[in-house]
Structure 1
């Protein structure tokens, strides 16, 4: 069997599991190359704890370089910028081109940012792409450190899903600790008429209680659209004052995919079949937030984690020329939502519970997952 060139584009959660699988069970006829913009990749589940100042950035990261070395994979530190399917190669931002027989995308998503009109706009912190969030967060913290003493700052979170709620509570916890001389007011915009769409009554009640405890006012049926002088304008031209805006809504695919031959859905995500193979593109796969399923899956890291082992198996199968196996997404998943006060909410379907013990449980789960992909490795 000729050597198969397997290209992993991006170093997301699913690809970390693929590398782990190939490290534990190597394939002599598969040569693996990984392209990523960073030798370290953040685990999304731990990011809110880092935003809240409860752990270091490094404690949230997967050591991609060490994982590649363990799997005998070549790592190129440059993101993809173009793909050709005939001939098969990917162009990188550094000008290099990498040929492939089989490729897989795990590059996450980005956000559609608001329009910006006028001057004296609020400070904006976009929560995606995740790979560069630490740079944006540190820059915002630096600006905040130079604010004059006293006064009031209004922090506006845009997005009423789990990520939007968790992000706002985590950031406010850190800002109140960093600058206790300032009165920090929290506001959350939700385009829906409820929080955590799709969750049961109890989890929604628990998140509403946590937001209230954090002194956050929720504005329902208000979709943030434009940054204007001193605040945010909504879809009905309502103006809400804000000094800092956390943007956690409107996930879309990376812009460069629009010029590729890959099929995309209306949000710019790569259309895939239930085998995780790209629709109409044999031997090319997509997983995680960058993949567009029918019906659509929520943008949550837990799905990428569940896809990882199945993707590893299908990559082996396709390299051998064998039929692919379908992946069946879980009907319900456990969501663990930090509330910025060393507490967390566990939500699964209609079930919900909160407390300090849930936070400790979440920390153990996250730490155990991250440890799998950092040396020393367990065989």
Structure 2
């Protein structure tokens, strides 16, 4: 009997957990499936602020990858990817021999960009990878005292939610540095105003108009000279691509992310797919988890189609999408189609959506 062909899933991101679920429900005839990921517990980013705020236990926001892959009949390789040889169809890894594949899918995510700010990589705590963040966040929480200062850098949704969570959870003071673009750039003006009022209600100091120029031990220096003392600095700025992607020979966009076509295929490669934050479509999308979640079913269908010699179908992003922001106190803000809303019912909606997503993969 000939060896089965090999589908390798690289990374345990939001799109790949759906691929695992679908292939577990309906196995791919003539193929074996493996997952290579460095994370034994894959975190769901949508619940991270709730974990920091103490609204969830960490286990509620984590997907047990050994359990999920076992249920789905998929081989799990716990290791870190160090490179891809697209011509030889090999994925190199840190702790073992290279893995050969016939069909490859990449969903390794992104990390906050610390490269453009001196000292950020050495002295700030990036939000991702989340498995490295949570233990250090527990240390920050345990050590927090009145009179201490915590600085969150990044005025997007992640920075806003984390600042709210820290302010609610800790006795220390919190400052959110939203930078030159300001708080929640790209969100409706009415929501931005409500978000600013929510920060003020939590006692969070909001700094807008100045980017962070450099980070030193215990200090965040803003452009123009002001210095913010900080017992901890949380880095939640725009996403950056993994450095090893530069050595793959795969086409990348100006920010270093993998260029894919509308069917999520890597540009110029019919047997390589990519989804989530690591992928850059012809019309770039925000680096938001909602897109990775929506790409999951399309990616699963297209991997199955190519494996069976059929034609993949395009992924069509939603024109607008529901955006929900936790205030960490049992309330949330939301927006869709230009409408802005908030209150306890919005937190209930967000909590229900997040729990329903996790239930697909935890049980």
TM-score band by shorter chain is: over 0.9
Deviations 1:42-72 (A, max 9, x none): 1111111000011111010112222212221
Q: Which residue of 2 aligns with 1:86?
A: 87
Out of 198, 206, 209, the position equivalent to 1:210 is 198
CA contact (8 A) 1:15 1:106 kept: yes
Provide the rounded CA distance (Å) in 2 between the counterparts of 1:238 and 1:350: 36
Q: Structure 1 pair 233/362, CA: closer, same or farther in 2 (3 Å)?
A: same
Out of 312, 316, 327, the position equivalent to 2:300 is 312
CA contact (8 A) 1:202 1:350 kept: no
CA contact (8 A) 2:123 2:216 kept: no
Provide the rounded CA distance (Å) in 2 between the counterparts of 1:122 and 1:231: 12
Listed as ranges, the matches of 1:148-227 within 5 Å are 150=146, 152-176=147-171, 184-227=172-215
Q: CA deviation at 1:237?
A: 4.0
Q: Which residue of 1 aligns with 2:274?
A: 286
Q: Which residue of 1 aligns with 2:60?
A: 59
Provide the rounded CA distance (Å) in 1 between the counterparts of 2:165 and 2:251: 36
CA RMSD of aligned residues (A): 2.1
CA contact (8 A) 1:122 1:231 kept: no
User: Is residue 252 of structure 2 the alignment partner of residue 251 of structure 1?
Assistant: no
Q: Which residue of 1 aligns with 2:284?
A: 296
CA contact (8 A) 1:89 1:98 kept: yes
Deviations 1:208-259 (A, max 9, x none): 1211111122222211131135421234444333332111003111111122
SS in 1 for 2:361: coil
CA contact (8 A) 2:123 2:215 kept: no
Q: Which residue of 2 aligns with 1:180?
A: none
SS in 1 for 2:246: helix
TM-score by length of structure 2 reads 0.93
Provide the rounded CA distance (Å) in 2 between the counterparts of 1:278 and 1:90: 15
Q: Which residue of 1 aligns with 2:340?
A: 352
Provide the rounded CA distance (Å) in 1 between the counterparts of 2:4 and 2:44: 32
Q: Structure 1 pair 318/237, CA: closer, same or farther in 2 (3 Å)?
A: farther
CA contact (8 A) 1:274 1:327 kept: yes
Provide the rounded CA distance (Å) in 1 between the counterparts of 2:91 and 2:329: 44
Provide the rounded CA distance (Å) in 2 between the counterparts of 1:14 and 1:122: 31
Any gaps of 5 or more consecutive residues in structure 1?
A: 177-183
Q: Which residue of 2 aligns with 1:115?
A: 118
CA contact (8 A) 1:288 1:304 kept: yes
Provide the rounded CA distance (Å) in 2 between the counterparts of 1:316 and 1:195: 42
Q: Which residue of 2 aligns with 1:329?
A: 317
Any gaps of 5 or more consecutive residues in structure 2?
A: none
Q: CA deviation at 1:207?
A: 1.1
Moved more, 186-195 or 291-300: 186-195
TM-score by length of structure 1 reads 0.89
Q: CA deviation at 1:359?
A: 1.3
